Chain A
Amino acid sequence: MKRVVVTGLGIVSSLAPNREGTWSAMLAGKDGLGPLSRLALPLEPAQIAGQVGLSAARHQTLCEVMALVALAEALEGYRPNSDPGRLAVFQGAGTSGLPTAEAFLEERLAGRRGRAAEPAYQSPCTVTDALAHHLGATGPRSTVMNACSSSLLALGQAWERLAAGELDLAVAGGAENLCRTTYAGFSCLKAVDAKKCRPFSRDRAGLNLGEGAVQVVLETLDAARARGATIYAEVLGYGASMDAHHPTAPHPEGEGAARAMAMALHAGRLDPSDVDLVSAHGTATPANDGAECLAIRRALGPAADAVSVTSTKSQFGHTLGAAGAFGAAAAILALRDQVVSPTLRLEDADPLCDLDCTPKEAKQRRVRAALVNAFAFGGNNTSLLLRRWEGA
């Protein structure tokens, strides 16, 4: 197996349209949640969102725009010159393309013909194709739609193909835009908080929705060293499982989530005591956070008492298909800088969430390895294992 490292990271978030701006704001305890203005939904109780400062272009969806900006930052000017067939793109998507479909349906309901955009334009794989064309990649390319765990699984896909020696470089991540379907959907499920979300809190009342993009450049260690690339972290493996419990609710004891974390540890040959950080799914829904903390305890055993847990949902809202990549970004930068970003607005922790959930302020600490969690409708669980790069 080849060793796989992260050599690039690009972020477009509601805090800043770049990596370092986003990270410094996270560490400073700022959030990117504000009044919803991208969509006009006056009848919805929740009027909060994590919105980016970019817009769709004439021939590009907002997801494509955000993804390409994030890719440009992640590549840091590097133009891969290896065999294009050994360059690959793996993307996770949630709602990408839905705004186009919504607009078409609305037109039809209004009795108009509607702008029947090519179905391709409504398909999330247009983002994947746009990234691949920018990269000049002709290797494997795939678009996963596992709802909220999509982009983390995409990172896992990239890892397994690089580790197998099939690729030199892969771009993996996700891009997500706000749309009416998800606003209406989570709202009717009573899963949206009208106030800013409070992961792990006793009084948590649901999620906020957000948008943004994260793109990660992964390479084999050999390829990264050969070009003298900056290495942010090492990817050790991933785990994936299904709950087989409920279409939308997680297993109450986190059985499937714990198995995903255990699989990731097994793939990376690490002991639970090697893990210092869990970048949690942490949606702030009543069902998720308690079950996730139970799952962390189940997977890490007594070592759970020593880990820091954090939720990026408190900064960006739930970016759905891109959420796993956002969680991975927070872990990668924590491993780089040895500091854990905070879980904002965590004043009164739920007794079920009896872990160090990094309340309100960033925490300087040793971070040797990190697990990243992303869970989804359909009982899909994914966990990614990262390790600090120490030049070994």
Chain B
Amino acid sequence: MSTSATDLVITGLGLVLPCGDGIEAARISLASGQPCFATLPETLGQGRGAACTAFNPAGIIPPMQLRRLDRPSRFAWVAAHQAFQDAGLNPRTMGERIAVAVGTLTGGSEASEAFMRPYFQRGPEGASPLVFPNCVANAASGHLALAFGLKGPSATFVDRENAAFAALEQASRWLRLGLADVALVIGTDGLFPLLLDVCRGARLLDRSGDPEIGSGRGFLPGEGAQAFLLESRAHAEARSVTPRATLGALGVRSAADTSEGARTRALLDATATLGDVQPDARIGGANGLCRLDAMESALAAAHPGWPKATHPKRLWGEFGGSGGQLLAAALLAPAERIVVTAPASSGAQFAALLEGVRLERS
């Protein structure tokens, strides 16, 4: 099967965010512009952040399974469940033809801390064989495969703040190569105490408790999962499903070195690969930390005719690895052309063009 980029559509969306579970909660949150930051429960870390305190897996994840899952896997399971329902797809009818691509930073890390803490304190007898399998970053994809009977290709990406875009890129490729008919693209991250400690120690966190884009004060962390069901337009039409949006283009470029200038150039180049486009909406990845805000600022200066960007990380926090909250935000309001940029503090820089974003499905 040969499919051009414009033939890929998003037919399913599932969201677990600090503002609540589901599309409607996210839409209301984004429209309100109210940040979701609060003092974190002690179990997640010290300080402020955007935690998924309303997360409710009841009726979706069986209790016996829930005990065995790390936080990113729980979020991913519920988001995937929503996405399959949204797309009207029963995954068990075509498991071998469904691929899974996951982007994360903290996948495996929460479990690693939970595994090593008692090991350091009590030696080998403190090591739990139930926890160790979740120490791998791809734990979520394995749990999703088991939960939904998914047997196609799978990959988990850990590229910095935009790993969900790397996942989207790989999923698009599998669909074009014919290795799958449907791809479940997931961004997922979960808060845990050591993450907060590391970020605070590295002076990345906003100490005012209210991150502001352009302030340079830093970010506040967040968590959640976003699931996107991707398939060819032909496949969606054959299932009589109306897409939520078309993936018009996806650009990726990398920085030649670690300097801010090189990363900015890479983001501009990635955006240029989208073509000469005039979007009617913009979603950006600024988070309050200089290194990402400056890149978004340069992008805005290079495109003075573009609409002002909405930066969802100001509401829902920096998820660290996924960046999927940016793609999610782009699907929450109708638009003909929406550009999403996902800067990262190193590595690859991504930009995506979504076209024909629709809320009504029929």
Instruction: Please state if B117 and A144 are interface contacts (CB–CB under 8 Å).
Output: no
A378 CB contact (under 8 Å) in B96, B127, B136, B256: B136
Measured in the bound complex, the distance between the Cα atoms of B112 and A122 in whole Å is 13
Within B152-187, the residues touching A (CB, 8 Å) are: 152-160, 166, 169-170, 173, 177, 179
B138 within 8 A of A: yes
Q: How far is the CB of A101 from chain B (nearest CB, A)?
A: 7
Within A111-134, the residues touching B (CB, 8 Å) are: 113-120, 122-126, 128-129, 132-133
Instruction: Please state if A129 and B143 are interface contacts (CB–CB under 8 Å).
Output: no
Instruction: Please state if B256 and A188 are interface contacts (CB–CB under 8 Å).
Output: no
A5 within 8 A of B: no
Chain B 121-151, CB within 8 Å of chain A: the 1/0 string? 1011001110011011111011101100111
Within A145-198, the residues touching B (CB, 8 Å) are: 145-147, 153, 157, 160-161, 180-181, 184-190
Measured in the bound complex, the distance between the Cα atoms of B214 and A300 in whole Å is 59
Instruction: Please state if A108 and B197 are interface contacts (CB–CB under 8 Å).
Output: yes
Q: How far is the CB of B250 from chain A (nearest CB, A)?
A: 11
Nearest-CB residue, chain B, relative to A133 = B257
B252 within 8 A of A: yes
Query: Which of B11-19, B34-42, B344-352 faces chain A?
Result: B344-352
Q: How far is the CB of B133 from chain A (nearest CB, A)?
A: 5
B332 within 8 A of A: no
B142 CB contact (under 8 Å) in A140, A141, A247: A247
Q: Which residues of A are found within 8 Å of B258, using beta-carbon distances? A: 129, 133
| Tally of contact residues, A, Cβ under 8 A | 74
Measured in the bound complex, the distance between the Cα atoms of B194 and A20 in whole Å is 42
B347 CB contact (under 8 Å) in A85, A117, A129: A129
B151 CB contact (under 8 Å) in A109, A129, A242: A242
B100 within 8 A of A: yes
Nearest-CB residue, chain B, relative to A118 = B202
A105 within 8 A of B: yes
Instruction: Please state if B127 and A247 are interface contacts (CB–CB under 8 Å).
Output: no
Measured in the bound complex, the distance between the Cα atoms of B152 and A157 in whole Å is 16
Q: Which residues of B are found within 8 Å of A190, using beta-carbon distances? A: 129
A347 within 8 A of B: no
Measured in the bound complex, the distance between the Cα atoms of B201 and A113 in whole Å is 8
Measured in the bound complex, the distance between the Cα atoms of B105 and A187 in whole Å is 26
A241 CB contact (under 8 Å) in B152, B166, B202: B152
A93 within 8 A of B: yes
Q: How far is the CB of B97 from chain A (nearest CB, A)?
A: 11
B200 within 8 A of A: yes
B255 within 8 A of A: yes
Measured in the bound complex, the distance between the Cα atoms of B136 and A248 in whole Å is 11
B253 within 8 A of A: yes
Instruction: Please state if B119 and A180 are interface contacts (CB–CB under 8 Å).
Output: yes
Instruction: Please state if A109 and B121 are interface contacts (CB–CB under 8 Å).
Output: yes
With A44-B124, A114-B201, A187-B124 as known contacts, state yes or no: A145 contacts B145, CB within 8 Å.
no
With A105-B117, A138-B254, A138-B256 as known contacts, state yes or no: A380 contacts B194, CB within 8 Å.
no
With A188-B127, A259-B96 as known contacts, state yes or no: A377 contacts B136, CB within 8 Å.
yes
Instruction: Please state if B347 and A157 are interface contacts (CB–CB under 8 Å).
Output: no
Instruction: Please state if A378 and B142 are interface contacts (CB–CB under 8 Å).
Output: yes
Q: How far is the CB of A382 from chain B (nearest CB, A)?
A: 8
Instruction: Please state if B254 and A181 are interface contacts (CB–CB under 8 Å).
Output: no
Within A221-253, the residues touching B (CB, 8 Å) are: 239-248
Nearest-CB residue, chain A, relative to B113 = A105
Instruction: Please state if B159 and A242 are interface contacts (CB–CB under 8 Å).
Output: no
Measured in the bound complex, the distance between the Cα atoms of B138 and A244 in whole Å is 13
B220 within 8 A of A: no
Q: Which residues of B are found within 8 Å of A109, using beta-carbon distances? A: 117, 120-121
Q: Which residues of A are found within 8 Å of B120, using beta-carbon distances? A: 105-106, 109
Q: How far is the CB of B19 from chain A (nearest CB, A)?
A: 25
| Tally of contact residues, B, Cβ under 8 A | 74
Interface centre among A132, A184, A241 (most CB of B within 10 A): A184
A216 within 8 A of B: no
B204 within 8 A of A: yes
A286 within 8 A of B: no
Measured in the bound complex, the distance between the Cα atoms of B120 and A104 in whole Å is 12
A102 within 8 A of B: yes
Within A37-94, the residues touching B (CB, 8 Å) are: 43-44, 84-85, 93-94
Within B176-219, the residues touching A (CB, 8 Å) are: 177, 179, 194-195, 197-202, 204
Measured in the bound complex, the distance between the Cα atoms of B127 and A43 in whole Å is 12
Instruction: Please state if A123 and B135 are interface contacts (CB–CB under 8 Å).
Output: no
With A85-B253, A142-B159 as known contacts, state yes or no: A247 contacts B141, CB within 8 Å.
no
A268 within 8 A of B: no
Q: How far is the CB of B54 from chain A (nearest CB, A)?
A: 27
Instruction: Please state if A243 and B255 are interface contacts (CB–CB under 8 Å).
Output: no
Q: How far is the CB of B361 from chain A (nearest CB, A)?
A: 29
Nearest-CB residue, chain A, relative to B105 = A123
Q: How far is the CB of A160 from chain B (nearest CB, A)?
A: 6
Q: Which residues of A are found within 8 Å of B154, using beta-carbon distances? A: 146, 240-242, 378, 380
Instruction: Please state if B142 and A125 are interface contacts (CB–CB under 8 Å).
Output: no
Q: Which residues of A are found within 8 Å of B169, using beta-carbon distances? A: 140
- B residues with CB within 8 A of A: 68, 95-96, 100, 105, 107-109, 112-113, 115-117, 119-121, 123-124, 127-129, 132-133, 135-139, 141-143, 145-146, 149-160, 166, 169-170, 173, 177, 179, 194-195, 197-202, 204, 252-258, 266, 269, 320, 345-348
Beyond A160-B177, A240-B153, A244-B150, list 4 extra A-B contacts (CB 8 Å): A138-B269, A140-B169, A146-B138, A188-B124
A-B contact pairs, 27 of them (CB 8 A): A85-B269, A98-B112, A105-B117, A105-B120, A114-B201, A125-B347, A126-B346, A136-B256, A141-B348, A142-B159, A143-B158, A143-B159, A145-B107, A145-B137, A145-B138, A146-B138, A180-B116, A184-B116, A184-B124, A186-B132, A187-B124, A187-B127, A241-B152, A241-B154, A242-B145, A243-B151, A378-B142
